[in-house]
Amino acid sequence: MRRRSTLKEIASALDLSIATVSRSLAGYEDISEKTRERVQQKAREMGYVPNVAGRMLVSGRSGFVGLVLKVRGPDFVDAYLGATVTGLSEALVAKGTDLMIATAPEGQDELEVLQRLVQSGRVDGIILTRIAEDDARIRFLQERNLPFVALGRTLAPLQPHAWIDVAGEDAFGEAFQLLYDLGHRHFGLVTITDQMTFARNREAGLARAMAATGDPSVRLTSIAAPRFDAEGHRRGIAGLLTGPDRPTAVIGLFDELALAVVQAASHLGLSIPDDLSLIGFDNVPAAAYAVPGLTTFEPGNRDIGRIAAATLLDLIEVRPKAPPTLLRNASLVLRGSHGPAPQK
């Protein structure tokens, strides 16, 4: 088996000090970018693998960032989380940090897994996803004074903390306006019952946009089921689309629900967009391949993952008094699933 190269050997090969090599590999910005790239390239060529135990002794850090994922069914992560995790991993690896994923199997409280991960001392910081209206995970991490970044906002008032979110309320207002301008007046919403902030924000944005028209003919029919209750959503969507007074336009809280509407409409013999217009959110890969293509919103989840990683590493290094927050806009992606309201 090939022997691992050492920092001393890399330093000798590049005619640099061991300290410069070590700081370059750790991503310190007091080392020029050109030198960091040169050192990292040589480390790869020589097969250098950092000694995690030694690094922890010297720095007091593990070099890992933690992420707890709730596992439900056969899919480890959905398309939303897949893009986010990809962005996280890319940005962390570029800075010499690794992503540690802990799983919470069905029936196990995600908070318990997070507590074990943090109390073990194996991570320097945490990325939180799918933020609840009042999130106990945030309270726990604040009590432990561990750096973290929340991908989403809470509705409950909590101590200031770092978060990155997408303005879903604005996106749903934009979706309504697009459909309203096309003549739609009876709208459907497929949503979830889970106490998730992103759901409440999007619902509120839709309600505000509807109220702002002052048009008494505008109506909304909503159906909801738990986030992972596919059968519950199927039943609700079927009920929404049957009968003479069905909506002419439906908005799915996210693409997975909107694509379920596509399937139900096809089964019922409804044409999209001639009989029914449809808009989703997240721009997952399947949205582009639906027939017709799904009009949706692109939140930039991969980019959000990169930003979250950079933000967390800064928090670990600097610990600012005012934690950073960022609210991004989602971009409307126009495809073929929306059109004028059908003539009666």
The chain-wide mean pLDDT, for the chain, equals 89
What is the structure's pLDDT at 57?
43
pTM: 0.81
E strands, 156-232, are: 163-166, 186-192, 219-225
Instruction: Give residue-wise pLDDT tens across range 246-257.
Output: 999 999 999 999
- Architecture, CATH, for domain 168-299: 3-Layer(aba) Sandwich (3.40)
Tell me how far apart the alpha carbons of residues 324 and 51 are, in angstroms, rounded to a whole number: 32
Closest residue by Cα to residue 129 from 313, 327, 304, 329 = 304
Statement: residue 49 has pLDDT above 70: no
Tell me how far apart the alpha carbons of residues 205 and 172 are, in angstroms, rounded to a whole number: 6
Mean pLDDT of the region 195-210: 97
Instruction: Give residue-wise pLDDT tens across range 55-105.
Output: 554 455 678 899 998 876 655 566 778 889 999 999 998 888 889 988 888
Give yes or no on whether 7-50 and 64-165+303-318 have one common fold: no
Tokens 């992972």, residue?
Answer: 228
pLDDT tier at 42 (50, 70, 90 boundaries)?
confident
What is the structure's pLDDT at 2?
45
Q: Strand 296-298 to strand 331-333: parallel, antiparallel, or no bridges (unpaired)? A: antiparallel
What is the structure's pLDDT at 77?
60
DSSP 8-state code for residue 196: B
Q: Kindly report the backbone phi and psi dihedral angles of residue 277, in degrees, each rounded to the nearest multiple of 5, phi listed first.
A: -95, 150
Instruction: Give domain limits for the chain.
Output: 7-50, 64-165+303-318, 168-299
| Residue 158 CB burial class (10 angstroms; 0-12, 13-18, ≥19) | middle
Mean pLDDT of the region 173-201: 97
Statement: residue 204 has pLDDT above 50: yes
Which residues 6+ apart lie within 8 Å of 162 measured at CB? 147, 148, 149, 150, 311, 312, 315, 323, 324, 325
- Return the CATH superfamily for domain 64-165+303-318: Response regulator (3.40.50.2300)
Instruction: Give residue-wise pLDDT tens across range 143-153.
Output: 999 999 999 99
Buried b (16+ CB within 10 A) or exposed e, 111-135: eebbbebbeeebbbbbbbbbbbbeb
Pick the CATH number of 7-50 from 1.10.357.10, 1.10.260.40, 2.120.10.70, 3.30.365.10: 1.10.260.40
